[in-house]
């Protein structure tokens, strides 16, 4: 029997203040001072885990989140452009209230909007999946029975969960994916298990 592949899905830490509570998406922003602290605590929590491979989005907020872990472990991450955050189109740069005012829709519906392809000029659920799915397929193909860390984004983690758990993207609104959080999934050819969801080491490590 083939052992399960353990996927550790790690969201980037808190971003700089001007981009909090907005739809950042394709904006290549930096971490906040608090975000850098979160990244250090996340690295401390995972530094003793034995990852057979590390993958990451190329975006700055992910690279900065990963930096303390790389410094501690000397890991050599593989950068996958397909793991960049979803493009929110005309919602990019807007806050939650601005979305309601401009488009007369609740920003809480963002996953449904992406899934249905109704967010103006944004990636659709279909196009978003089309670039993320080959990434996870390649990772699973290359690392059967191994442990893999994937540093990426909240939207990407929800898409990965949608693919791995075979659930509609819109249903991923049931899952909170916070800054500098860890979600673990074990995936084998015959079974998929969600082992850990949205664990935030920075809340629990002093």
- The answer to whether residues 205 and 41 touch, using CB atoms and an 8 Å cutoff, is yes
Question: What domains does the chain contain, in order, with CATH numbers?
Answer: 5-204 (3.40.50.1240)
Catalytic-role residue among 12, 14, 123, 153? 12
Reading the block at residue 159, the tokens are 């898409």
Closest by CA to 34, choosing from 63, 64, 69, is: 64
How high is the pLDDT of residue 1? 61
pLDDT tens digits, 103-157: 999 999 999 999 999 999 999 999 999 999 999 999 999 999 999 999 999 999 9
Residue range 72-79: mean pLDDT, rounded: 94
Confidence at residue 203, expressed as pLDDT on a 0 to 100 scale: 87
Write down the pLDDT at residue 81.
98
d(CA 147, CA 40): 21
Q: Would you state the pLDDT for residue 69?
A: 97
13-50 pLDDT, tens digit per residue, is 999 999 999 999 999 999 999 999 999 999 999 988 99
Give 163-179 as a DSSP string. HHHT--GGGGGGS---T
> Closest Cα partner for 201 from 7, 45, 28?
45
Q: What is the pLDDT of residues 80-105, one digit of tens each?
A: 999 999 999 999 999 999 999 999 99
Q: Is 61 assigned to a binding site?
A: yes
- Cα separation, 39 vs 60, whole angstroms: 13
CA distance 162 to 167: 5
Long-range contacts of 130-137 (CB under 8 A, 24+ apart): 131/82, 132/82, 132/83, 132/156, 132/159, 132/160, 132/163, 133/163, 134/82, 135/55, 135/80, 135/82, 135/83, 136/7, 136/160, 136/163, 136/164
pLDDT band at 205 (very low <50, low <70, confident <90, very high): low
- Per-residue pLDDT reduced to its tens digit, 188-197: 988 999 999 9
Catalytic, 193? Answer no
Evaluate if residue 61 carries a pLDDT over 80: yes
Catalytic residue among 37, 47, 85, 176: 85
Q: Is 12 a catalytic residue?
A: yes
pLDDT of residue 206: 56
pLDDT 10s digits, 154-185: 999 999 999 999 999 999 999 999 999 999 99
**Per-residue pLDDT band at 204 (split at 50, 70, 90):** confident
Q: What is the pTM of this model?
A: 0.96
5 beta partners: 187
Best CA proximity match to 166, nearest among 114, 129, 141: 129
Contacts for 194 with CB less than 8 Å, ≥ 6 apart: 161, 165, 183, 184, 185
What one-character DSSP code corresponds to residue 93? T
């Amino acid at each position: 029997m083939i052992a399960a592949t353990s996927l550790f899905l790690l969201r980037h830490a808190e971003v700089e203040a001007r981009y909090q509570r907005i739809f950042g998406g394709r904006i290549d922003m930096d971490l906040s001072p608090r975000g850098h602290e979160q990244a250090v605590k996340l690295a401390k929590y995972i530094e003793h885990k034995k990852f057979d491979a590390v993958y990451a989005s190329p975006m700055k907020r992910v690279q900065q989140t990963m930096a303390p872990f790389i410094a501690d472990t000397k890991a050599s991450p593989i950068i996958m452009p397909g793991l960049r955050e979803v493009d929110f189109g005309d919602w990019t740069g807007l806050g939650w209230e601005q979305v309601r005012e401009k488009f007369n829709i609740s920003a809480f519906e963002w996953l449904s909007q992406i899934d249905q392809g109704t967010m103006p000029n944004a990636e659709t659920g279909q196009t978003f999946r089309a670039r993320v799915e080959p990434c996870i397929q390649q990772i699973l193909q290359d690392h059967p029975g191994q442990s893999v860390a994937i540093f990426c984004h909240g939207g990407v983690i929800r898409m990965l969960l949608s693919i791995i758990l075979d659930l509609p993207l819109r249903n991923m609104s049931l899952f909170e994916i916070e800054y500098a959080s860890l979600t673990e999934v074990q995936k084998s050819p015959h079974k998929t298990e969600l082992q850990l969801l949205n664990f935030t080491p920075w809340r629990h490590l002093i």
